Amino acid sequence: MTTEDRDSPGPPGGRLLWESRQRPGRGPRPALSLERIVREGIEVADTEGLATLSMQRLAARLGAGTMSLYRYVPSKDELVVLMFDAIIGDPPATDPADWRGSLRGWALGVREAFHRHPWALAVAGSSRVMGPNETAWTEAALYALSGTGLPPDAMMDMLFLVNGYVRGAAQLSVDPAHGPVFDLTAVLESERRDRYPTLLAVVTSDEVTEAYDHRTDRGFEWGLRRVLDGIDLFLTARREPQE
């Protein structure tokens, strides 16, 4: 991380996320717009990484002075949060009658967003105000679960479980810095390599079944199926108390 971690004492206000902005009549017409700034920020983060995103570079790209951006955004952190909510977008439709299919689509949607915008993973990991879109995703997942008859906190937990898997798996298969996720060269060259016999056997094995590759959608879905199976088992057992 290069320290990209923005973790300030308190999360940003999020006023821009939730309050409706209206332009007052007075004053010159703004040359930029919040939307354009956010869009360009996403573009930079996508192509060159979040770490290289600076207010000066962003302003230059927009043909504006650095400080002009601060007429639209109170701070860089707030901008990043806005970028995050923007790329998350709208959740897919979910159906309480089909929690499994709904959660599957939901999970694939989250994963896709993280794959398209690797920097978003780091943002998701920071404490922040949830934006309208992210909240809508939460709502969609809970709605999908609302047909299961689970108590509220158990629903929340299902969400944590699925969300946890999606995030973790994405983190392992997405590289924020456009490099290899697992760099094992150091291990292989180390004189201590015999401390890791199983790992070396696995890594050097020629036997590669594509179905399991987590960098592919199929690999991701394979793991997701295990998670949903686990949930299913729980729900079934719950419906039929003693067998």
Which residue shows structure tokens 């007075």? 26
Q: Binding partner of residue 31 among a copy of itself, DNA, none, CB under 5 to 8 Å per kind?
A: DNA
Q: Binding partner of residue 179 among a copy of itself, DNA, none, CB under 5 to 8 Å per kind?
A: a copy of itself
In sequence order, what are the residues at sequence separation of 6 or more whose Cβ sits closer than 8 angstroms to the Cβ of residue 166? 107, 110, 111, 114, 224
Contacts with DNA by CB under 7 A: the residue count is 27
User: Least distance (Å) from a copy of itself to the CB of residue 160?
Assistant: 5
Is residue 118 a contact partner of residue 174, using CB atoms and an 8 Å limit?
yes
User: Least distance (Å) from DNA to the CB of residue 131?
Assistant: 18
Contact status: 34 vs DNA (CB under 7 A): no
The residue (of 26 and 239) whose beta carbon lies closer to DNA is 26
Interactions with DNA, residue window 176-235 (CB under 7 A): none
Q: How far apart are CA 73 and CA 80, in angstroms?
A: 10
* Interface mask toward DNA for 76-105; x: CB under 7 A: xx----------------------------
Distances (CA, A) of 76 to 1, 4, 20, 56, 225: 17, 12, 20, 11, 39
Interactions with DNA, residue window 59-78 (CB under 7 A): 64-68, 70-72, 75-77
Q: Binding partner of residue 64 among DNA, a copy of itself, none, CB under 5 to 8 Å per kind?
A: DNA
Tokens representing 106 are 């939901």
Considering only 1, 20, 29, 210, the residue that binds DNA (CB under 7 A) is 29
Is residue 129 a contact partner of residue 12, using CB atoms and an 8 Å limit?
yes
Q: Binding partner of residue 229 among DNA, a copy of itself, none, CB under 5 to 8 Å per kind?
A: a copy of itself
Considering only 9, 24, 180, 241, the residue that binds DNA (CB under 7 A) is 24
User: Least distance (Å) from DNA to the CB of residue 192?
Assistant: 23
Contact status: 27 vs DNA (CB under 7 A): yes
Residue 193 is given by DSSP the state G
User: Least distance (Å) from a copy of itself to the CB of residue 178?
Assistant: 8
Which residue shows structure tokens 């690999």? 219
Is residue 211 a contact partner of residue 223, using CB atoms and an 8 Å limit?
no
Q: How far apart are CA 75 and CA 11, in angstroms?
A: 12
Residue 195 is given by DSSP the state G
Distances (CA, A) of 205 to 93, 173, 209, 211: 42, 20, 11, 16
Q: Binding partner of residue 142 among a copy of itself, DNA, none, CB under 5 to 8 Å per kind?
A: a copy of itself
Considering only 30, 101, 152, 230, the residue that binds DNA (CB under 7 A) is 30
Provide the terminal-to-terminal Cα distance of the chain, rounded to the nearest Å: 50
Binding positions for DNA, rule: CB under 7 A: 23-32, 52-57, 64-68, 70-72, 75-77
